[in-house]
Structure 1
C-alpha cells in the first residue's frame, strides 16, 4: 500500500515537473516555428548573390562599414588590415552566414547564432569552402545567453527582429550576451504602412524580389518601440538612421527618414556609471 502511494506521488511530481518545463520553455523561447519552417525552404539559395536573398548580400555594402566604424569609434584599431581584430561579435539570427563571414574577414572573432539547424549546417559548409573563421552555433539566443553572459564586445541582429514575436524577451537575451559598454546593432523594417507597401506588396507580390510570405506587418517594429525596449534593458540608443532599398538596382542607400527600413546602434551602460 505504502509502495503504491509512493509510486503515485512520484508520478504526480514528475508530471508537475514536466508541465513546468513545458510552460517555461514555451514562455521564454523566442523561436517562431513558422519562421524556421519558412526559411528552411531556401537553404540551398542562401549564398546565391543574385537569388532569393540578394538584398541581404547587397546590404553588406553599407552595414559592414557601419558596424566597423561604430565599434571603432571609441576603441583602438590594432591592425589596419584587420580593423576588428581583437573584438568579439555575436551575429544573432545569422542564417547562412552572409554577414558573419565578411565580419570575420575584417578581423572580428565572430560567433554566428541561429535557431535553424539547417541554416547553421549550410553556414558551416560555406565557411569550409571559403576558409572563413566563424564559430557557428545552432541555438536560441536566450539559451546562448545563459552560458555566455556579458561575453561579447558587440552583438548584431540584422534583419531578424521583424521575424520575432516575443521582441522584449529577444532584445533582453541579446543584451545579456553583451559586455558593459559594448555595442548592439539592429537593422530592420519600420512598422509603417509605407514599409508594408514597399516590403510586402511591392517586394514580395509585384516585383517578387523577396520570397512571398517572408514578412508580416504585425511583426514590424518602429525605432521608438525598439529604443524603449533597449532602455528597459539598460541600453542607450546612440544612432537611428533610415535606409532604403532599390529593388530595381539591388542597392541600399542611407535615407533621410526611417519610415521604410532603418539601422539602430545602442550602448549597454555600465551599471556603476548609470
Structure 2
C-alpha cells in the first residue's frame, strides 16, 4: 500500500456509523467510550502539560495550538480539546458520525472543523494529534502511523490508545463487554490488537520517538483508571525522533 492510500476499512466505518444515533448517550452503544474518555483526557492533559511545560491549573493549556483527532467519532474527545483552548479538527471515515458531531458541537456552542476524510488524504500540520481506539481498526497500522506522523507539526505531540493483545484484554473487551452488550458485537477483532512492543517498533518506523506508555486498567473498586498495568489497554505519547 502506498502512502496516499487510505487505511480505512469500509466495514469498520459502516459498523461505527450505525452507532451515530446514540453516540452521545452515556448508556447507549458508545457507553464504554464514555467511560474511557475521562481517563484518556486525563492522560492527554498530563502529557500536554509536560510537553509544553504548562501549569496544571491553566484552563486553556492548548490555546494557540492546532489539534487533530483522527477517528473522532461524534466528538467525545474533540469537544474537551476545544474547551482546553485548541483549534480542533476532527476526522472520521463514517459520514454519519461527522454529521452527529457537527450537530452536537453546534448545540454546545463549539467551533470544531469536522471532516469525513481519512488521515492519509488530509493536508496541514497540527501541534497535537490524537487517535484513540483507532489503530486496531485500520487496514495497515504502519501506513496509518506514518500518516499520523506526517500531520505532526515540528515540536508536536502524538497520543494514541489501543487494546493490548493479551488474554485479559480479550476476556474483558470481547468475551465480557461485547457479550453483555456494553460494546456492540463485532466491534473488535483480537487478531488486530497490537502489543506495546510492536507498537514501539511501529512508532519508531514512522520516524517518531516513544516518550511514554501508560496503561488503562480496570478494577471493580476503581473502574477504568490510569495504571502501570498495560494488560487491558494502553496509551502512547510520541514525538518526532
TM class by shorter chain equals over 0.9
CA contact (8 A) 1:91 1:155 kept: yes
SS of aligned partner of 2:194: coil
Please give the alpha-carbon distance, in whole angstroms, between the structure 2 residues aligned to 1:240 and 1:82.
Answer: 25
| Structure 1 residue 95 displacement after superposition | 0.5
1:134 is the counterpart of 2:134 = no
Please give the alpha-carbon distance, in whole angstroms, between the structure 2 residues aligned to 1:53 and 1:238.
Answer: 30
Please give the alpha-carbon distance, in whole angstroms, between the structure 2 residues aligned to 1:101 and 1:221.
Answer: 27
| Bigger mean CA offset, 96-105 vs 75-84 | 75-84
Q: As a proportion of its length, which structure holds more helix?
A: 1
- Residues 217/131 of structure 1: CA separation in 2 closer, same or farther (3 Å cut): same
Please give the alpha-carbon distance, in whole angstroms, between the structure 1 residues aligned to 2:37 and 2:191.
Answer: 26
Please give the alpha-carbon distance, in whole angstroms, between the structure 2 residues aligned to 1:41 and 1:65.
Answer: 28
Among 68, 79, 94, the alignment partner of 2:72 is: 94
Among 15, 20, 38, the alignment partner of 1:43 is: 20
Show the counterpart of 1:203: 177
| Bigger mean CA offset, 237-246 vs 94-103 | 237-246
1:166 is the counterpart of 2:144 = no
| Bigger mean CA offset, 29-38 vs 58-67 | 58-67
CA contact (8 A) 1:101 1:133 kept: no
Segments of 5+ residues of structure 2 without an aligned counterpart are none
SS of aligned partner of 2:90: strand
1:155-196: CA deviations, max 9, x gaps? Answer: 100011111121111111011000122111111101122211
Please give the alpha-carbon distance, in whole angstroms, between the structure 1 residues aligned to 2:59 and 2:169.
Answer: 38
Runs of 4+ in 1 over 3 A off after TM superposition: 76-79, 248-251
- Residues 51/249 of structure 1: CA separation in 2 closer, same or farther (3 Å cut): farther
Higher RCO, Cα 8 Å, sep 6+: 2
TM-score (normalised: structure 2): 0.93
Show the counterpart of 2:45: 68
1:107 is the counterpart of 2:85 = yes
Please give the alpha-carbon distance, in whole angstroms, between the structure 2 residues aligned to 1:30 and 1:256.
Answer: 30
Show the counterpart of 2:153: 179
SS of aligned partner of 1:112: strand
Show the counterpart of 2:34: 57
1:220-249: CA deviations, max 9, x gaps? Answer: 111111111110121111111111245x78
Counterparts of residues 76-91 of structure 1 (less than 5 Å): 76-77=53-54, 80-91=58-69
1:197-219: CA deviations, max 9, x gaps? Answer: 111111101x3211111001111
TM-score (normalised: structure 1): 0.82
The structure with more radius of gyration: 1
Show the counterpart of 1:143: 121
- The alignment's C-alpha RMSD in Å is 2.1
SS of aligned partner of 1:31: coil
